[in-house]
Amino acid sequence: MKSFDAIVIGGGQAGPFLAARVVEKGMKVALIERKFLGGTCVNAGCMPTKTLVASARAAHVARSGAVYGVNIPGEIAIDMKVVRARAETVTMNARNGLIGWFAGMDGMTVIYGHARFEDPKTVSVNGETLTAPRIFLNVGARPVIPDLPGVNDIDYLTSTSIIHLDTLPRHLAVIGGSYIGLEFAQMYRRFGAEVSVIEHGPKLASREDEDISDAIADVLRSEGIDIHTGVSDIAFSRNSDGITVATDAARIDASHVLIATGRKPNTDDLGLDAAGVVTDKHGYITVDDRLATNVDGIWALGDCNGHGAFTHTSYNDFEIAAANLLDGDDRKVSSRILAYALYIDPPLGRVGMTEKQARASGRKIMISTRPMSRVGRANERGETKGFMKVIADAETKKILGAAILGIEGDEVIHGIVDAMNAGTTYPALQWSVPIHPTVSELIPTLLGDLKPV
């Protein structure tokens, strides 16, 4: 049996950085990863997909050149092998950076293999047994494949496998109208594929307010994406030219099917029962406000704990654990103000409560909206789709939440994210003097238009 001061299972966005901090304290750490360092973000999520989004935007801008007085003769062609290779290069650079970093770190032992608990202080991997007083789980999540008629009879794609495509689908059917599915839908439409989105719920991006969901649908439809919502029945079958997707609303003749109906935690094969670690009905590891499980000496970070499904929330889990365990701090998950983005084009930046949540809270609220068509930067760039929206508490004057669907919305939202984290009231933020011409310069104007509801 090999002894360490800490064992980290999973090499995503929390585990490796926590392992490095522990090593900095002079301790010995075993970092166990069953496949690739970097987790979903580096290998099958943010980095490769946003690289693909950038290629798709380049194609879209090239096709739109005439509007700006830039004439490109001939058809804009897409070389999917180059597109794929570029995304793979970005992934490999990041992954190899982590490998090199850990290789030069005294006290760090990286083990590739599948770890399982033997008891609360012991794990086995590759036939070896390791023990440590502290064990951190950062095992991530994977795509969910729903039990739909015929799904096992077709060669479907997931968000992991689709990034390896080096040919262009004739017609991509996307099952699931949430964030992952919508990003791939617009991306492949811009590459030149026909695209259909099939969503069970009544709206796309169902966690958003209806006006945001409707605006997202308008953006995608304007680019020729076929959208079906409120679909209750879906079945798949092979045909001579690909795959038939039959729903209660339509029959779609697709060449490829992307299943994007959510993700589930990678907790079902860790031997958690042997350690006594409790999970909820969805398989997420139950943790307290400081990310500790019900078993002393075991913590769960990142997607597997159900407290955020984003790279930045996973990294923040690392920050919380490191601050509490290594720096004598007392940071809590409940103090986190959730922010995220949807990377369609234009992107959606979101923070805090939706309007629906704010109304349900019983607060007296104020709301302001502003179309992007009334933003100078958007007009100058010829990108006026979407709108800005902010919700505030009428009594405390604190900002409760905001949504910016529009050009640079994923960046502009950080002005509000920072204000909310600092506890700044909206009247104080109105007095800032932002740079012109930017999208951010409209935040004080947006706040000045807040009206009670």
Residue 382 lies in a domain: yes
Residue 41 lies in a domain: yes
The number of beta carbons lying within 10 Å of the beta carbon of residue 341 is: 18
The answer to whether residues 291 and 307 belong to one domain is yes
Q: Which residues are catalytic?
A: 436
The answer to whether residues 274 and 227 belong to one domain is no
The answer to whether residues 326 and 186 belong to one domain is no
The CA–CA distances, whole Å, from 129 to 7, 209, 294 equal 12, 50, 23
Residue 272 lies in a domain: yes
Q: Check residue 308 and give its pLDDT.
A: 87
Work out how many domains the chain is built from and give that number.
3
Last residue of a domain, one of 280, 310, 335: 335
Residue 67 lies in a domain: yes
Cis peptide before 346 (omega within 30 of 0): yes
The answer to whether residues 110 and 64 belong to one domain is yes
Rg for the chain, CA atoms, rounded: 24
Which residues make Cβ contacts (< 8 Å) with residue 89, sequence separation at least 6? none
Residue 146 lies in a domain: no
Look up the CATH number of the domain holding residue 392: 3.30.390.30
Last residue of a domain, one of 201, 228, 261: 261
Last residue of a domain, one of 261, 279, 304: 261
For residue 348, give its domain range.
339-452
d(CA 186, CA 382): 19
The answer to whether residues 16 and 133 belong to one domain is yes
pTM score of the predicted model:
0.96
The answer to whether residues 444 and 401 belong to one domain is yes
Look up the CATH number of the domain holding residue 331: 3.50.50.60
The answer to whether residues 179 and 206 belong to one domain is yes
Q: Check residue 446 and give its pLDDT.
A: 97
Residue 172 lies in a domain: yes
The answer to whether residues 119 and 76 belong to one domain is yes
Backbone angles phi, psi at 333, to 5 degrees: -65, -35
**Ranges of the chain whose pLDDT falls below 50:** none
Q: Check residue 220 and give its pLDDT.
A: 98
The answer to whether residues 316 and 349 belong to one domain is no
The answer to whether residues 108 and 240 belong to one domain is no
The answer to whether residues 168 and 86 belong to one domain is no
The answer to whether residues 246 and 180 belong to one domain is yes
